[in-house]
Chains A and B, each alone.
Chain A
Amino acid sequence: KNQVEQSPQSLIILEGKNCTLQCNYTVSPFSNLRWYKQDTGRGPVSLTIMTFSENTKSNGRYTATLDADTKQSSLHITASQLSDSASYICVVSSFTSGTYKYIFGTGTRLKVLA
């Protein structure tokens, strides 16, 4: 069964600290993996998109990694800021029989404290 699991479910860190969010998937065949940031009451915003051949992609203080062999991805946030408080959602897409499927993780809720 195609699944995307994220951990931890929630996380609290102090401003300025680093953190890493995990995404494990069992989606096959794999097309690409995206990380989104969703602030409360707003739509998700794309952070990174990675294909099978990419193993690292950065967007400012956000760095995503992908290990296609172990089917794991992580999102590392460096020098966290209060504005990083949000939900982070991992999405894996799969292409079969001419159509795409999107499998979403349930997200990690991050809270950054001053």
Chain B
Amino acid sequence: KAGVTQTPRYLIKTRGQQVTLSCSPISGHRSVSWYQQTPGQGLQFLFEYFSETQRNKGNFPGRFSGRQFSNSRSEMNVSTLELGDSALYLCASAPLGGQGLDEQYFGPGTRLTVT
């Protein structure tokens, strides 16, 4: 079974631009969560999608948004990029997600650098 894939793996953008990251979950998984990881803050939860609906959301500004398609693939969008948005963005999939004891499977991440 193929794992979670994320594209692109690396990205360099300029302040003020917007960016879209993509995540393909493990086949059959309906939950996709997004996380931001920085050296200073560690891992932080962005949001979770389940069956095309945002089910849970962390404490990030509205510049961070996402969506999920009917095939469970998910995209994350960041508008008006700031230098502080430079981070590793991780996607994780789970069969049902939420707070069940589903195991989450993480992708390799997208390294975003904002200059």
Contacts from A to B (Cβ < 8 Å) = 31-32, 41-46, 49, 51, 89, 91, 93, 95, 99-102, 104-107
* Contact count band on B: 20 to 34
The prevalent SS among residues of A at the interface is strand
User: Which chain A residues lie closer than 8 Å to B45 at the CB level?
Assistant: 101-102, 104
Q: What are some 19 contacts across the A-B interface (CB < 8 A)?
A: A31-B99, A42-B109, A43-B4, A43-B108, A43-B109, A44-B106, A46-B104, A51-B101, A89-B42, A93-B99, A99-B57, A102-B58, A104-B42, A104-B43, A104-B44, A104-B45, A106-B41, A106-B42, A107-B42
Is there a chain A Cβ closer than 8 Å to B95's Cβ? no
User: Which chain B residues lie closer than 8 Å to A105 at the CB level?
Assistant: 42
User: Which chain B residues lie closer than 8 Å to A107 at the CB level?
Assistant: 42
Among the listed A32, A43, A44, A89, which residue makes an inter-chain contact with B101, where contact means beta carbons less than 8 Å apart? A32
Nearest B-chain residue to A4, judged by Cβ:
B42
Q: A44-B43, A95-B99 are in contact. List 19 more A-B contacts (CB 8 A).
A: A42-B108, A42-B109, A43-B4, A43-B92, A43-B108, A44-B106, A45-B106, A46-B105, A49-B101, A51-B101, A89-B42, A100-B99, A101-B58, A102-B58, A104-B42, A104-B43, A105-B42, A106-B41, A106-B42
